[in-house]
Amino acid sequence: MKPVLTVSNLTKIYGNRKVVNNVSFSLFEGQIFGFVGPNGAGKSTTIRMITGLTPITNGSIRICGYSVTRNFTHAISNVGAVVEMPQLYSYLSGLKNLKLFASFYGKTAQRRINDVVKLVGMENRIKDKVSTYSLGMKQRLGIAQALLNKPKLLILDEPTNGLDPNGIVEMRNILRALANKEKISIIISSHNLAELEHTCDVIGLINNGKLIEYQTMEQINKMIESRQRIQFMCNYPNYAAMLVKKKYGLPSKVIGNSILLPLKEANIASVVSYLTFKKIKIYSIKKIQKSLEELYFELLNNSRPSSSIL
Ligand SMILES: Nc1ncnc2c1ncn2[C@@H]1O[C@H](COP(=O)(O)OP(=O)(O)O)[C@@H](O)[C@H]1O
Ligand SMILES: [Mg+2]
């Protein structure tokens, strides 16, 4: 399968600062790519280069096979984007806004208005004035607008910024439906990894302009699993740690009256029987798991060269 988007060695220099530094990744049909990083990491600049809003310093971008620099018109005809806040006329209804934008695109877009309204779940409110919409509804109308020309690639720059938890869930459901049913590929940026957990197939972590991780959500979950620890509260934790090390070769950390072990659930019973056999009293057993947010900060702190899944 050919990628919908290929970003190769993309670099942007402002003055003497590399704000995007040799970024490469590909996106396939129906995939949702979560582009995550702290403020100032280079997300918007990358997105602006993909949508042709900012010139590329170095590297290349291909959308559906067309180079953004050499064949911009063809490349951009496959893209729908909401960069920053969607541009809407608040004194008009949602529907009038869509009609106005569709008139710029032509007949095909005009025939699609009803479809895009359904896709973003706005049938009930589309005839109301935009000034009465919540932020989440404005974002959804922005997405509807971006879908008018039937793009293969939808790009959303921090669309969940300022949304309440309900708004975030609605956005997630819409994006998943677009990816699953319409086979649209989506780039969604955010400074909050946890927010994208249930939305994305692939996560790209950017820090100081560099793509420091590029992993499937499955791989990210495995990273969390491999960092899982089992905490045993017991008497004689130092002795218990020594026993476990000798018997299982497992390193453990002693904290107060407990030991922390990198242990799979399936092996807990064996450790418990062994320690009990050795006359250690176990008072409690607890699973300690890193949250996605903690993993995010760990990865940012030990930024290392990008590891590619392709
Ligand atoms: N037009 C510009 N001129 C100079 N520096 C810029 C410009 N646009 C962005 N930057 C700088 O590039 C870096 C990345 O910004 P940006 O891509 O907006 O980050 P993000 O979207 O991840 O928060 C920041 O340090 C920002 O100050
Ligand atoms: Mg930004």
Q: Tokens 């942007």 appear where?
A: 12
pLDDT for 104? 86
State the closest ligand 1 atom to the C-alpha of 158, by its place in the atom list counted from 1: 21
**53 pLDDT exceeds 50?**
yes
How many whole angstroms from 59 Cα to the centroid of ligand 1? 18
**240 pLDDT exceeds 90?**
yes
Give pLDDT tens digits for 71-110: 999 999 999 999 877 789 999 999 999 999 999 888 888 8
How, if at all, do strands 32-36 and 202-207 pair? parallel
Confirm or reject: Cβ of 16 under 6 Å from ligand 1: no
Tell me what the pLDDT averaged over the chain comes to.
92
Closest ligand to the CA of 41: 1
pLDDT for 151? 95
State the closest ligand 1 atom to the C-alpha of 42, by its place in the atom list counted from 1: 17
**Distance, CA of 13 to CA of 58 (rounded, Å):** 9
10 Å CB burial of residue 49 (0-12, 13-18, 19+) is buried
CA 7 from centre of chain: 17
Confirm or reject: Cβ of 88 under 6 Å from ligand 1: no
Closest ligand to the CA of 84: 2
The least confident of 14-23, 98-107, 144-153 is 98-107
**13 pLDDT exceeds 70?**
yes
Q: What is the DSSP string of 65-78?
A: TEETTTSHHHHHTT
pLDDT tier, 112 (very low <50, low <70, confident <90, very high otherwise):
very high
**171 pLDDT exceeds 50?**
yes
pLDDT for 116? 95
Q: Which DSSP category does 35 fall into? A: E
pLDDT for 162? 83
Among 137, 150, 153, CA closest to 95: 137
Residue with the bigger pLDDT between 284 and 301: it is 284
* Coil, helix or strand at residue 85: coil
Give pLDDT tens digits for 130-139: 999 998 999 9
- Based on its alpha-carbon atoms, the radius of gyration of the chain, rounded to whole angstroms, reads 24
Is-above-0.75 flag for pTM?
yes
- CB within 8 Å of 276: residues ≥ 6 apart: 282
pLDDT for 86? 78
- Residues 95-128 as b/e (b if ≥16 CB within 10 A, e otherwise) read bebbeebbeeeeeebeebbeebbebbebeebbee
Closest ligand to the CA of 83: 2
10 Å CB burial of residue 89 (0-12, 13-18, 19+) is middle
**Distance, CA of 160 to CA of 225 (rounded, Å):** 27
How many whole angstroms from 108 Cα to the centroid of ligand 1? 36
pLDDT for 160? 87
- In the predicted model, what is the mean pLDDT of residues 1-27? 96
Closest ligand to the CA of 45: 1
pLDDT for 265? 87
**Distance, CA of 86 to CA of 80 (rounded, Å):** 12
Give pLDDT tens digits for 173-183: 999 999 999 99
How many whole angstroms from 298 Cα to the centroid of ligand 1? 23
Confirm or reject: Cβ of 40 under 6 Å from ligand 1: yes
* Coil, helix or strand at residue 47: helix
How many whole angstroms from 190 Cα to the centroid of ligand 2? 8
Confirm or reject: Cβ of 39 under 6 Å from ligand 1: yes
pLDDT for 307? 39
- In the predicted model, what is the mean pLDDT of residues 238-245? 96
Q: Which domains does the chain have, with CATH numbers?
A: 5-223 (3.40.50.300), 228-288 (3.30.70)
How many whole angstroms from 284 Cα to the centroid of ligand 2? 45
Crossing angle of helices 237-248/268-277, nearest 10°?
Answer: 120
**308 pLDDT exceeds 70?**
no
**31 pLDDT exceeds 90?**
yes
**288 pLDDT exceeds 80?**
yes
How many whole angstroms from 40 Cα to the centroid of ligand 2? 7
* Coil, helix or strand at residue 9: strand
pLDDT tier, 197 (very low <50, low <70, confident <90, very high otherwise):
confident
Confirm or reject: Cβ of 82 under 6 Å from ligand 1: no
| Closest C-alpha residue for ligand 1 atom 9 | 45
**Distance, CA of 49 to CA of 25 (rounded, Å):** 14
**306 pLDDT exceeds 80?**
no
